[in-house]
Amino acid sequence: MISIFVRDVIFENGLSEDGELRYAKAFNIYAQNERGERLVNNASDFTDLESKGFERAERFAKQVQAHIDAGGKLNLEHWYEVDPCYGSAAYVDQGTEERVREWERAQG
């Protein structure tokens, strides 16, 4: 089973007239299987610069989920792999958990 969902990310969006960093929010569409492996859609651009980003992203995610639920497949030309869900079978199997532990030990 594939689940389609939206996650947000904050990014730097230039400087204000006072020279301070401005931030904006973008929304990414994720596909995740039962093992926790994840893909992100690379053909979508949903930001809150126009304040409708989340609504547009949610609508797109629902369309993709309906396509999957009807037996459709993802077009992998429009998706790229990212780190798996924290604590999932895929996370453990790829060694991410151990790499994080090693990094934490190295930090002291």
Beta carbons of 19 and 71 less than 8 angstroms apart? no
Distance CA 35, CA 93 (A): 10
The pLDDT-based confidence of 9 (bands split at 50, 70, 90) is confident
Provide mean pLDDT across the span 60-75: 97
pLDDT digits (tens, 9 = 90+) for 21-45: 999 888 999 999 999 999 999 977 7
- Name the percent of the chain lying above pLDDT 70: 98
Distance CA 22, CA 3 (A): 33
Distance CA 21, CA 28 (A): 22
Q: Would you state the pLDDT for residue 46?
A: 83
pTM listed for this prediction: 0.80
Q: Would you state the pLDDT for residue 50?
A: 64
